[in-house]
Structure 1
């Protein structure tokens, strides 16, 4: 067991693409964690998606040795969807490296996580990365760190993780400036569950930070929030290879396994204590993870339903924040209604299902959770699926979730950003300028953001804007359910909840899309967008028709008219009995393109 004064626990905070994973690679390499031959890029990112996109999805930990000290590095996700996991990872550390790109400067995600880190009373070491780039401007970045965040950047460490410049200085700064942990090793056991994942050989592997006491192999432990007890069968750490240890003492970070079969039993932020000598109260800060965005997942081929069920079950083993339940749709058949932490989470799950399990999926338009108060005091319901919306006469009020968004953008793009936020029913809260960049704070309804807000933001600012948000609760709004009717039949998969002021524009847009996508039939097909019984937009697909008057040469006009009337009657009858087949491709395209309003 390492003595407390020789331990340093730290995490790395950075915006996407500022070099966090590359810096972690260099630290591992310099401290001899892996040999040159075993080294690969982004060692701590296990998934292909993490490597390709350059993002971190799961928290990872690695134990390094430097100048007689044990350094525990927590590699945390940076994206807002995983903000709760980040808060638990930060609570397990005493300090943080703030990595800022010398060419890009401070961005939104960096800020959000730095403020969390300051709340946990961390010692923050600024690290300016990529100093070898031609566009690097270290003095400007130092000024930004001081002006925007309020940290003293005069002793910031200058590095280039890619070239290996300044890595030893970073390690020295960790040892010299980050304080050692505190904790009594003789007190009753208190350990925080930081993260967990499923291993096919070991069962659930749990990442823990021991706050008080010691955690040993063969110990009977209890999860205080879940109320379950388990027997520890393996204790260890990652260097980055899995290394077994006899015990973990207060202040140390490592992993345990206890023959747990499902990740859902191990809630992030739970407190682990000794079952025989339990601690009197749990560690603060625990909360249940709630799904924020919902959408339906359906297999393109109905025969793949069983395969989709198995695949979703396997993914759930590894990701307890992802929820699902079965649903059926008249248009799309059997599928699942799934809940996600946010849009990135949705995208990752969808991509993993497509890639790892070889499935072709249709995703319905993402929606958020609405709170509906029913009339005559009949209680309230939570609505996840627009198709389940009660009748309008039974609804008293509808409340939707709102977020507070902070957008960082070079000031030449400020105009289009303000217009985008206004179009999405945003309420401006603040606008400040720092070093040639604008920081805009807006309150926005979440359902306006889940569609395509992020893509639009990136395209109108050529990728320069950065965006971070937090939820601020529910507010009542004038919201209505919009149905899409094809040949007077509602298509449940295309129904959505929209604000009344934008229903017409969105309805017209959807009808135009479907007109291009649905093939022509032998009869006229009306496509309508309707709110209740009121049609707000309509397009008509013309019928395929034969020229019945072709055989008439000259003669009286009444003869031609008679033939056309006869044809018209036939078409009318056909329309009553004919049904419109909407091809799968049209659904996929309509749902995808319904995103860009």
Structure 2
């Protein structure tokens, strides 16, 4: 049993690629938590997709025993968090389970937009912060400039910032000492009724549902009868353990400790993230405050390519939603695609990751429809509807006006690319709110319509700034604008998966780009195919995909010209009939590529 004064719980926060996971590796290695032969780079990033993309998606926990220089042994619980804006909810949740944070800043690049956003999560959770300047082994490293930047931009004292190279291991001992000396020990009462926060849960095919908990008060032992305070479900605890990255079973968890429990939970929906776990017989009087639920920002439909796999897809989505509290879903049907789910995500990277995980982990091929955001549609009779899917747009004659969601975007960019960034934001109907300088970098704040950001704003921003800009945003509410629904017709049939909401001034440009793109993506058929973009009954753009031709006159040589004409007329009549009854197959790649709109 570890006394409270010898426990430290902390997370590592930083911008993408500033070295969080590598620093976690060094801390694990330095304290011999994992045998040398089992060490590998980014040890805590266990999913294939995390290792492939080189990003952290899930926050991961590890328990480290550290023998400090004062001769005492401390238990350190470390949570390695993601850096990407799409997984900010994962970060804010992890923060609530710990008392302090290591703020990692790349000493060659300085403070980035996501550094700021993650620091604010930490400050909201009332954390003590230790600034760590990473990558000091690189020749471009400049610790003094970056420390000054941390003080200017974030406003925390960086005079005692620790200089570290997570790659070579320099400065790791100083980091461990700083954690023990400067971060607060957790508070908690061993004799009070049990209060444990449900931080995360996931599905394991051998153990069933595994629940990650942080004990606030009381003690949790094997065999205890527990109750979830939100759902009221009751369970008996089968096993308790901690992560030294591998699961290790222990007898009990006391106040301030972080570990996992198995309680033969069958239904994934019984474990709600942020719920309070207490003893069934001697419950706590009131639950912990929990987390505010995440607001999905981007919606899209997921449909199985083979409609027989619908039940498998439902199962996969339920298991993923357990593991990822920021992902929401509901059933939907589509004329073109059959049964599927309308899913909500925190951003496009989140969408891609979920799609990849379903395809890999559950082996289901998916069709993804155009990402869209929620619009508020105000009718002439005074009622209001939420529009998730542009295909469900009510008849325009009954619509009074439409409001769209706006965001406040913060972009940090080197001075020489500022013009390109301002132009990009103006093109996307942005309104400039603020422009200040932090050293040689400009910090631009824009009010942008979310609809314009959802598609490919991030990719465009990276390409116009050669990857040097960083971007973070928060929701700002709704505003009225002149929006219309644009439908895409292929061979006179509307393709509901490609309909989208656009601003009237930009509809023609968007429609023309879409038609040109589809013309290259749809394979040619034996008959000619018109591809049109329309608003209501008015066609605003058209491309025609020419037919494949068989040379029917090849067998004619010499003789009368009327023979050739007769054969061609016969072919023409056949193609006309084919076009009436022919079905146009739109390949899956065409859907995905058509939705990645470029300027």
- The answer to whether the superposition gives a TM-score over 0.5 is yes
Which residue is equivalent to 1:10? 10
Which residue is equivalent to 1:251? 256
Which residue is equivalent to 2:515? 511
1:591 pairs, out of 579, 588, 594, with 594
Question: Do residues 196 (structure 1) and 201 (structure 2) align?
Answer: yes
Which residue is equivalent to 1:287? 292
- Does the CA-based 8 Å contact 2:299-2:343 persist in structure 1? yes
Worse overlay, 108-117 or 197-206: 197-206
Partners in 1 of 2:592 and 2:46 — Cα distance? 32
Counting only pairs closer than 5 Å after superposition, residues 251-400 of structure 1 correspond to structure 2 as 251-300=256-305, 308-309=313-314, 311-316=316-321, 318-377=323-382, 379-400=383-404
Worse overlay, 247-256 or 30-39: 247-256
Which residue is equivalent to 1:577? 580
Which residue is equivalent to 2:47? 47
- Does the CA-based 8 Å contact 2:491-2:584 persist in structure 1? no
Q: Cα 1:463–1:262, aligned 2, differ >3 Å: closer, same or farther?
A: farther
Q: Cα 1:545–1:227, aligned 2, differ >3 Å: closer, same or farther?
A: same
Counting only pairs closer than 5 Å after superposition, residues 28-39 of structure 1 correspond to structure 2 as 28-39=28-39
Partners in 2 of 1:384 and 1:113 — Cα distance? 29
Partners in 1 of 2:572 and 2:44 — Cα distance? 70
Q: Cα 1:549–1:232, aligned 2, differ >3 Å: closer, same or farther?
A: closer
Partners in 2 of 1:11 and 1:193 — Cα distance? 17
Partners in 2 of 1:569 and 1:582 — Cα distance? 21
Structure 1: runs of 5+ lacking an equivalent: none
Q: Cα 1:263–1:419, aligned 2, differ >3 Å: closer, same or farther?
A: farther
Worse overlay, 145-154 or 76-85: 76-85
1:51 Cα shift? 1.7
Worse overlay, 73-82 or 173-182: 73-82
- For 1:304-359, what per-residue CA distance to the aligned partner results, in whole angstroms no more than 9, with x for missing partners? 65654554455445445434444444444554433323212111112223333444
- For 1:117-138, what per-residue CA distance to the aligned partner results, in whole angstroms no more than 9, with x for missing partners? 1222211111111101111111
- For 1:245-273, what per-residue CA distance to the aligned partner results, in whole angstroms no more than 9, with x for missing partners? 22222222222221112443222222222
1:30 Cα shift? 1.0
Question: Do residues 229 (structure 1) and 234 (structure 2) align?
Answer: yes
Partners in 2 of 1:308 and 1:222 — Cα distance? 30
Partners in 2 of 1:257 and 1:299 — Cα distance? 32
1:178 Cα shift? 0.6
Q: Cα 1:57–1:261, aligned 2, differ >3 Å: closer, same or farther?
A: farther
Question: Do residues 136 (structure 1) and 138 (structure 2) align?
Answer: no
1:285 Cα shift? 4.5
Which residue is equivalent to 1:441? 445
1:13 Cα shift? 0.7
Which residue is equivalent to 1:489? 493
Q: Cα 1:358–1:200, aligned 2, differ >3 Å: closer, same or farther?
A: closer
Q: Cα 1:9–1:548, aligned 2, differ >3 Å: closer, same or farther?
A: closer
Question: Do residues 402 (structure 1) and 412 (structure 2) align?
Answer: no
- Does the CA-based 8 Å contact 2:275-2:290 persist in structure 1? no
CA RMSD of aligned residues (A): 3.0
Q: Cα 1:216–1:375, aligned 2, differ >3 Å: closer, same or farther?
A: farther
Q: Cα 1:530–1:129, aligned 2, differ >3 Å: closer, same or farther?
A: same
Q: Cα 1:477–1:8, aligned 2, differ >3 Å: closer, same or farther?
A: same
1:586 Cα shift? 6.5
Partners in 2 of 1:241 and 1:491 — Cα distance? 49
2:171 pairs, out of 163, 166, 186, with 166
- Does the CA-based 8 Å contact 1:369-1:382 persist in structure 2? yes
1:363 Cα shift? 2.0
Give secondary structure in 2 for the equivalent of 1:376: coil
Q: Cα 1:543–1:6, aligned 2, differ >3 Å: closer, same or farther?
A: closer
1:43 Cα shift? 1.4
Give secondary structure in 1 for the equivalent of 2:87: helix
- Does the CA-based 8 Å contact 1:198-1:262 persist in structure 2? no
Counting only pairs closer than 5 Å after superposition, residues 482-561 of structure 1 correspond to structure 2 as 482-520=486-524, 524-542=528-546
- For 1:422-441, what per-residue CA distance to the aligned partner results, in whole angstroms no more than 9, with x for missing partners? 11122222111111011111
- Does the CA-based 8 Å contact 1:522-1:544 persist in structure 2? yes
Partners in 1 of 2:287 and 2:379 — Cα distance? 38
Counting only pairs closer than 5 Å after superposition, residues 454-493 of structure 1 correspond to structure 2 as 454-493=458-497
Worse overlay, 33-42 or 80-89: 80-89
- For 1:529-583, what per-residue CA distance to the aligned partner results, in whole angstroms no more than 9, with x for missing partners? 1111112112233456799999999x99xx99x9899789948954773435234
- Does the CA-based 8 Å contact 2:108-2:138 persist in structure 1? yes
- Does the CA-based 8 Å contact 2:208-2:264 persist in structure 1? yes
Question: Do residues 121 (structure 1) and 123 (structure 2) align?
Answer: no
Partners in 2 of 1:344 and 1:522 — Cα distance? 38
TM-score of the two chains, using structure 1 as the length reference: 0.91
